[in-house]
Structure 1
Amino acid sequence: LDEKQRPAAEKDAWSNPVAMPKWASVPAAVRTPLTLAPEAERENPPVPTAAVPVTPPAIADTRLDNGLQLVVARTGEVPLATMALVIKGGGATDPKGRAGLSDMTASIATRGTATRSQKQIAAEMEALGASLSTSAGADGTIISVTAPVATLEAAGRILVDIVRNASFPAEEFDRERGQSLDKLSVALKDPGTLSALALRRVIYGDAPYGAVTTPETLRAMTRDELVAQRDRWWRPDNAALIVTGGVDREQAAAMGNRLFSGWQSIGPAAIAPALRAGTAQAPRLIVIDMPGAGQAAVATAVRAVDRNDPAYPDLLVANAVLGSGSNGRLFQEIRTKRALSYGANSALAARADDGMLIAASQTKNESAPEVVAIFLAEFDKLAREPLDAETVGQRKAYLSGAVSRQAETSGGFAIILAGLVQQGLPSAEAARLVERIAAVTPEAASAAAAANTPSARASVVVVGDAKLFIDKLRAAHPQVEVIGIDSLDLNRPQLRK
């Protein structure tokens, strides 16, 4: 149902609209049950084989004739390649009161140019066997095409047309904004989504990284502001072209010069905010009261090192111990041992300025205080207790495998390179990621955790039906702030209207 069609004042219903059917039962077992063989008779698992050597792709970092940075990495012999244009700045450059402008600009850029309609763009890309994608994050915007090597330049011509000549049709802008408002109205009723948005405000306050897309910022946007955003930030002296896959450096450079030779920077260069993360905010514990919520979402975060910090790989490994995958401590404590949730995890956000280490889970309302206690205890444990070599070794293998798998495809390696470019790191760092992870010692990971994860530095946001847990939570944390859903304002760092 379209949210616009919801009758006025109608409340959300969390129960199933129809009664559950009666399912057929499974027939009773008739065979002899299987049993485990005695320990001495069981087969031993195969021993690990020698590690397969992995040669990272050679990365060439040069400039095209118009000054545009060119990063090329031949990732294999498969005749498929990715061409990605990275525009630095991203959401951190959104004007005050216009959070989400960079994302909206990237989304609508593909809806038509001065010479191509949206349907023509789609038809041409399909005929070339290519795909087109756009995304905008905190530090940059990425517009990319992936295509067979034989048609990559033709797909690149469409990419260039979009970057230089996107027309941002008014009807497409109105449609996209309307759809975004509908999606957001639904998302803001989800405890998990709302807790993450509110926690970003708590960690970064009124700084650029703290800005959150809201119905108010979407409604305030105009089509002309999208054009201005493109004209100010989408320029060769604020961008990089990344080419990965079955293309060598000479091919990529020649292709790049043919495609981008007419693209020039006009006027003074745009200057991104110097302090995207702002100053550190005082820790807070906040409950957003959502009466009738079927579950409570719990999110905990600490401000962490930026991507360029030498301790970043160390903290990445420490975070993997805390909450990466089903072997992370949070998953083991919250799901495996206590069955309080289907899952719990943590992530370290890579940023050009101070990042954020965030842990999240959803649970029944009544057990929210217990999950808060586990989060804070595990943050402290990570900060206080030295990590052992076996645990660190296992987590390094997990991370190295994830990076290596991502780097196997042209698109995956392009994303790695794009992240480094946005965050101001040398592109050559992409070839050293696995090496840097492998070099992390238990002592270094422990030191990074001790500096970043003490619970005294952590902020917590709980979104749920407060009447079911607030007394227990307040008994353990008298400083808790309660904000009713009708009083919540994500446009303000205080989160109150």
Structure 2
Amino acid sequence: MIARFLTLVTATIFATALHAAVDIQEVESEGGISAWLVEEHSIPFTALEIRFRGGTSLDREGKRGEVNLMMALLEEGAGDLDAQEFAKARDNLAASFEFDAYRDSVSISARFLTENRDEAIRLLRAALVETRFDEDAIARVKGQVQSVIRNEQTDPGDIASNAFNAKAFGDHPYGTSDNGTSESVDALTREDMFAARDRAIVRDRIYVSAVGDITANELADLLDGLLGELPETGPKLPERVTPALDGGIEVVPYDTPQSVVIFGHQGISRDHPDYIPAYVANEVVGGAAESRLMEEVREKRGLTYGIGAYLLPFDHSELVLGQFSTANATVAEAIDVVRGEWEKLAADGLTAEELDLAKTYLTGAYALRFDGNAPIARIMVGMQMSGLDSGYIARRNDLVEALTLDEVNRVVREIYDPENLTFVVVGQPEGLETD
């Protein structure tokens, strides 16, 4: 508790400087590309974060895993450079590029020194519009993805996550792994990679932020040079899907001494006006070491080393989701405890003391997220994709502080749903079967 108090004190000190330091400029290039910028000229370094809405949900039918594989191949050669030459050129510039694929977006993270900015951006542009997708690189990266897929098939946590998603989302893209299956990945071709790139990396779904040693005019010029040649539009996004979770337990037999349990039900979207009170309530339920779930399942009964719950607002659906592991002999007891806490929460809500402690922690810890150029750039892109304005950082803590107990408990009663709380168990739980 003392350590946490000191952390909060430190965070509070940082928070005052944070609101003054994160001065977001909204930039638009001549080519119509918008970005958020925080200038920081004390170090000759810039972090650039780019995201495109859509992600692995844009995989075509029968080609699951194509966007994930494509993103992993962007650094494997571009223009006149093969994979090794591209890596050497990047390293010689002391730059770093990261290409990632997620359920609702693909992201590109670039870090570069001011003196090498132009060369780094030219190299990154080549990766996006002069991608080689060489056959030997495709074969090599396919092997890496196949290794991940094999691990998913033997890791209890991955098995549980995939089973829960399949139950919740069925044949929607959310219902299957972003990596695809062994068969679908094996069948992907070089032509599929070009098609996936031109579907997922498009201008009408782009979000950009930059933090560091760069001016607004320099960023505007950079954007057009880097992104101006991308395809203008992408394919239609998936339809909205309501999680098919109506309570009960599904057991997936697996030979392991501990069972992995994932539980949840429908949640709340990020743009819902009640998201902030729901977020604060979740901190009490399962977001911190002192949460109700940790207290009841771990501290009082010793049934697990850790348990948590969190809100997952996807673009086309939303969940309240939790997870824990426990010995096969204690799975049933642990599930009963979680159900009991959900029922108490829905019936009685939070206490005033719980709400005050959650407010103190969340407002104090907020500043700690802004601990460098790259984290700030990621936060700003996330804000844009969530529909938040550039002033949100300055007023976020005020929104939390303004919450009343009645307001939070109204949201708790509307969101937390014991009747539809669904559990997926992977293991050999004693005295527990699918119902």
Q: TM-score with structure 2 length normalisation?
A: 0.89
**1:256-287: CA deviations, max 9, x gaps?**
234444x1535x54321242x34654334200
Look up the match of 2:53.
88
Aligned partners of 1:302 and 1:458 also within 8 Å:
yes
SS at match of 2:32: coil
- Show the 5 A alignment for 1:396-415: 396-415=359-378
TM-superposed CA distance for 1:395, in Å, is 2.0
CA distance in 2, matches of 1:60, 1:49: 27
Aligned partners of 1:113 and 1:165 also within 8 Å:
yes
TM-superposed CA distance for 1:322, in Å, is 1.2
Correspondent of 1:122 among 71, 79, 87: 87
TM-superposed CA distance for 1:431, in Å, is 4.9
| Pair 1:310-2:277 in alignment | no
Aligned CA distance change for structure 1 residues 402 and 162 (closer, same or farther; 3 Å):
farther
**1:406-440: CA deviations, max 9, x gaps?**
22311112222222344454455455444433333
| Pair 1:140-2:105 in alignment | yes
| Pair 1:373-2:336 in alignment | yes
Q: Please provide the CA RMSD for this pair.
A: 2.6
| Pair 1:465-2:431 in alignment | no
- Show the 5 A alignment for 1:339-488: 339-426=302-389, 428-466=391-429, 469=430, 471=431, 473-474=432-433, 480-481=434-435
Look up the match of 1:265.
231
Which segment is superposed worse, 310-319 or 175-184? Answer: 175-184
TM-superposed CA distance for 1:221, in Å, is 2.9
CA distance in 2, matches of 1:151, 1:49: 35
Aligned partners of 1:85 and 1:240 also within 8 Å:
yes
- Show the 5 A alignment for 1:251-290: 251-261=218-228, 263-265=229-231, 269-275=234-240, 277-278=241-242, 280-290=244-254
Correspondent of 1:321 among 252, 261, 284: 284
Aligned CA distance change for structure 1 residues 173 and 60 (closer, same or farther; 3 Å):
same
TM-superposed CA distance for 1:224, in Å, is 2.0
Count of equivalent residues? 424
SS at match of 1:111: coil
Aligned partners of 2:129 and 2:230 also within 8 Å:
no
Correspondent of 1:249 among 194, 216, 232: 216
CA distance in 2, matches of 1:424, 1:206: 28
CA distance in 2, matches of 1:112, 1:214: 25
Look up the match of 2:181.
214
TM-superposed CA distance for 1:182, in Å, is 2.1
Look up the match of 1:226.
193
**1:124-173: CA deviations, max 9, x gaps?**
22222222112121211111111233333332222221111222222222
| Pair 1:238-2:209 in alignment | no
Aligned partners of 2:62 and 2:184 also within 8 Å:
yes
- Show the 5 A alignment for 1:165-244: 165-212=130-177, 213-244=180-211
Aligned CA distance change for structure 1 residues 49 and 176 (closer, same or farther; 3 Å):
closer
CA distance in 2, matches of 1:181, 1:49: 45
**1:324-372: CA deviations, max 9, x gaps?**
2311222222222211111111121232232211110111111111121
| Pair 1:294-2:260 in alignment | no
TM-superposed CA distance for 1:375, in Å, is 1.9
CA distance in 1, matches of 2:388, 2:193: 28
TM-superposed CA distance for 1:226, in Å, is 1.9
CA distance in 2, matches of 1:84, 1:308: 22
- The AA in structure 2 aligned to 1:458 is L
Aligned CA distance change for structure 1 residues 433 and 115 (closer, same or farther; 3 Å):
farther
CA distance in 1, matches of 2:403, 2:59: 36
SS at match of 1:209: helix
CA distance in 2, matches of 1:116, 1:427: 39
Aligned CA distance change for structure 1 residues 172 and 449 (closer, same or farther; 3 Å):
farther
| Pair 1:101-2:66 in alignment | yes
Look up the match of 1:19.
none
Which segment is superposed worse, 295-304 or 397-406? Answer: 397-406
- The AA in structure 2 aligned to 1:238 is R
Aligned CA distance change for structure 1 residues 94 and 449 (closer, same or farther; 3 Å):
farther
- The AA in structure 2 aligned to 1:64 is S
Higher Rg of the two aligned structures: 1
SS at match of 1:55: helix
TM-superposed CA distance for 1:202, in Å, is 1.8
- Unaligned segments of structure 1, at least 5 residues: 1-44, 475-479, 482-497
Aligned partners of 1:352 and 1:424 also within 8 Å:
no
- The AA in structure 2 aligned to 1:154 is E
**1:467-492: CA deviations, max 9, x gaps?**
xx1x3x35xxxxx34xxxxxxxxxxx
TM-superposed CA distance for 1:374, in Å, is 1.7
Aligned CA distance change for structure 1 residues 201 and 147 (closer, same or farther; 3 Å):
same
Aligned partners of 2:112 and 2:120 also within 8 Å:
yes
- The AA in structure 1 aligned to 2:218 is Q
Aligned partners of 1:66 and 1:236 also within 8 Å:
no
CA distance in 1, matches of 2:358, 2:38: 28
